[in-house]
Each structure stands twice: as structure tokens, then as C-alpha cells.
Amino acid sequence: MEEAHRELLQRNRLRLVRELQVEPLWELILARELFTRDMIEDIQRAGTRRDQARQLVTDLQTRGRRALPIFISCLEDTGQQALATLLRESNSTQQLDPIDIKPIEIVRSGEPSSTYVKLPMKPLVPVSQTSKKEDPGASCLGVAQGAVAPTQTRYGRNPGMVGQVYALNSDPCGYCLIINNVDFHASSGLSVRAGSNIDCEKMQKRFQALHFAVEVEWNLSAKAMGAALQQLAERDHSALDCCVVVILSHGCQASHIQFPGAIYGTDGASISVERIVNIFSGSQCPTLGGKPKLFFIQACGGDQRDHGFQVSSAPEDKSPSSDPETDATPFQNNFDQTDAVASLPTPSDILVSYSTFPGFVSWRDTKSGSWYIETLDRVLEEWAANEDLLSILLMVSNAVSAKGTYKQIPGCFNFLRKRFFFKTK
């Protein structure tokens, strides 16, 4: 498909996913050789109508240069005139090539129209009757500089995964605690985290928009951080469906069993990520049992600086006004040993998203905030209504990896059992 046609589909992706009726399209797109039978059955395994529409739009971008006009003709012939008109009128910079579509007979409950020429066509097999096929996993489309592209969401293609989505029925969905450490004691040797207040404000507004009850704690010592997290875990979450913790602070590399890294309090003492997560484990916080617990951590994982490696078309942000700082200090090995040996009794329904790879620094702009939080906020704004959390985090990783002279790539430790979609309405 031509790049202009791909961009057109991306611009109209949200409406297509929301309104596209996929069921009437299968016979037409097979007869007009837009997709093969196996490809159609693969798309049908995506799950709900919305999931199938999302996957159809994604896979359509991999087809030939005539894919878009053929797709528009299929929309017109199935009565989806509004979407067909939207795609035609949106394509103002390039005229769609005319196509010669041979009419086909679509046999439905009534008599077929005599104006159609009948094409032999093997009936499509319902999803429930298809054999299970292995899926290679999820992949991500390339991201141009400063841009955020959707992922090829493939988590729902396995028929056994259909319907396995965390339910967010309560309003608010749950508590969101943000810990924002900006000013550190002089004795700690840690610098002021200029720009962190921008991150904090973005996260506060974003999670409020996603139907969370947001609370912010400022400039906490390591002990106070542990106490605030413990108080949150001890609350009654029975009527809620989720819990989110966002931590903005300096960090360091630390010995670990499950989750790497440690977070500094304003006093220069640290609390390990492992200990933080354990506070919300099934045995410690039973009212969150079986419910997703999400942790977003903007802090360094060490003091290594990644210069990256050259590729032929790597985008690079060389803004002369950018003067980023790190949230790093050297490796520490003198923390409380209970942090190092803490275990996770039931490591399920947990996701920890790190701003950077373990052992490496995490960059923060003093004027616009950290690369990770800025990108996370932007991607959530654009895609939270349509993409699951893992797909969103892939977009964040891809976009952040394209920034700066020094390099940074976020990642996550995922122990969720189901797909997670934020509540946006």
C-alpha cells in the first residue's frame, strides 16, 4: 500500500474501529482478492467486532497499492456509505485510482439480485469451527521521529483469549497514588528533580480522565514512601477494579529476585521496587486479589548512559534547546537486606512499567518533563480508548527509543493474566 493511503487509514483509524461492520465484508474482500481465506479467518480470531475491525485496518496496510480503493468499494457495496465517503474525501492530496470491480452475487436470506455475476465461493468457516493456530506474537509498526503509531494488536487472535479482558465496571475504577519526589535533602547528595512537577501534573490529569481517584504525595523519605504505599494497600478495594501507583524520583540499580531497581526517598535512603510490589501482593492486599495492579516508575535503573548503535534510518532528536538530566546515582548495595530477599507469594495481575532498561539512566528535560512520562501521557491520550495496555507500552518504548543523542528504552515486567483496557467513557 502506498504511504499516503496508510496515513489516510491512520488518520481515520479511530472512527473505522468504532463504526466498521466487518461481518458483511468477508465475502466481498475474499472475492475481490483483498485477503485470502486464511487471512480472513485469522482476523476473525481477533475477538469482538471492534477487535476484528482494528485488526482489519492494521492488516489492510500490508496489502497492495490497490487495496484502499478496493476496500472503499467493498464498503459502498455493503451499505457503509458514510465510511466510504469519509475515506474518499479524506484523501485530498492523492486521487484514488479507479478500479474495475466485477460484481458478485452475495447470497443472503432472500433471492440474489439478477444484476450480479455469480462467483463460486467456499463459505467462510465460523471462528468457533476453525482449528487453533499458533500466533507468532505481537509486533509494532515503525515510528517516525516524534510520531506515535499503533501496534499490530495480536493478543486476542488466539480463540482461547477471546473475552479474557479485565472488567472495569466501577467508577472510579480504583485509586491512583502518585509519589512525586522533587527536593532531596542536602545530605543525600541527590539533585533537585526539575521538571518532575510537569510529569506529576500530566499523570494526575491523565488518570483522572481515565476514571481513577488520584492522590498525590510530595517529597517523601524512603520510610514515608513505604508507609504511604502500605496505607493504600490496607484500604478496602472490594468495590474497585484496579489500582495504579506512579513513582517519580531518583533511582538506582539494586540486587533483586523478581523486580530490579530501587527508588530513592528524599532522605537518600532507598526502597526496592520488589518491596513496593510485594506490599500489594495477594496475601498482603486481599481486596485487590485477581485485580490488575499497575506500577509506572520514572526513575533511573543505574548510571550507565546508552549511546545507542547506528542503523541506516534511525530517527534522532537533536533539539539544541534540550538539556536533559538523569535520575541516576551509582549502584548501591547497602540497603535493607529484607528488600533483596522479599518474595512475591502470588505474582499475578501485576505490571511494572519502567522508564528505562535496568542499569541505565532515565532522561528528564527540566522544562518539559521526562521523556517517558511525556510520551506515556501522549500515547494514552491518543490510544487509551482503542488499544490495550501492552500495545500502548510498545508504542511508548518505540517512541522514546527514537529520542535524544543519548538513548533510552522503557520496558515492563508483565504478570497480567488478561488484556487490560483503560476506561475512557
Which tens digit of pLDDT belongs to each residue from 49-67? 988 998 898 888 878 888 8
Report the 10 Å Cβ neighbour count for 247.
24
The C-alpha cell of 232 is what? Answer: 493504600
Mean pLDDT calculated for residue range 20-31: 92
Nearest-CA neighbor of 213 among 416, 423, 381?
Answer: 423
Mean pLDDT calculated for residue range 107-120: 40
The C-alpha cell of 70 is what? Answer: 478496493
- What confidence tier does 78 reach under pLDDT thresholds 50, 70, 90? very high
What is the helix (H) or strand (E) element at residue 89, kind and residue range?
helix 81-90
> Is the preceding peptide bond at 69 cis, omega within 30 degrees of 0?
no
**317 pLDDT above the threshold of 60:** no
The pLDDT of residue 323: 53
**115 pLDDT above the threshold of 80:** no
**304 pLDDT above the threshold of 70:** no
Q: Fill in the DSSP letter of residue 74.
A: H
**260 pLDDT above the threshold of 80:** yes
d(CA 285, CA 26): 47
- What confidence tier does 414 reach under pLDDT thresholds 50, 70, 90? very high
pTM above 0.75, yes or no: no
* Residues noted as catalytic: 250, 300
d(CA 232, CA 114): 68
The pLDDT of residue 247: 96
**243 pLDDT above the threshold of 50:** yes
Q: Kindly report, as residue ranges, where domains of CATH 1.10.533.10 are found in the chain.
A: 3-127
The C-alpha cell of 165 is what? Answer: 479482558
- What confidence tier does 386 reach under pLDDT thresholds 50, 70, 90? very high
Mean pLDDT calculated for residue range 263-276: 93
Specify the CATH superfamily of domain 3-127: Death Domain, Fas (1.10.533.10)
Instruction: Read off the pLDDT of residues 155-182 as tens digits, 9 standing for 90 and up.
Output: 344 444 444 899 999 999 999 999 999 9
The pLDDT of residue 346: 52
Q: Kindly report, as residue ranges, where domains of CATH 3.40.50.1460 are found in the chain.
A: 174-415
Alpha helices (runs of H) in 160-284, residue ranges in sequence order: 196-209, 222-234, 273-278
The C-alpha cell of 166 is what? Answer: 479485565
The pLDDT of residue 62: 79
Q: How many residues does the chain have?
A: 425
Q: Fill in the DSSP letter of residue 192.
A: P
The pLDDT of residue 342: 34
- What CATH number was assigned to the domain covering residues 174-415? 3.40.50.1460
The pLDDT of residue 42: 80
Residue 328, C-beta contacts closer than 8 angstroms, at least 6 positions apart: 250, 251, 252, 300, 302, 303, 361, 362
Considering only residues 409 and 145, tell me which one the structure prediction assigns the higher pLDDT.
Answer: 409
Mean pLDDT highest for which of 105-114, 126-135, 262-271, 360-369?
A: 262-271
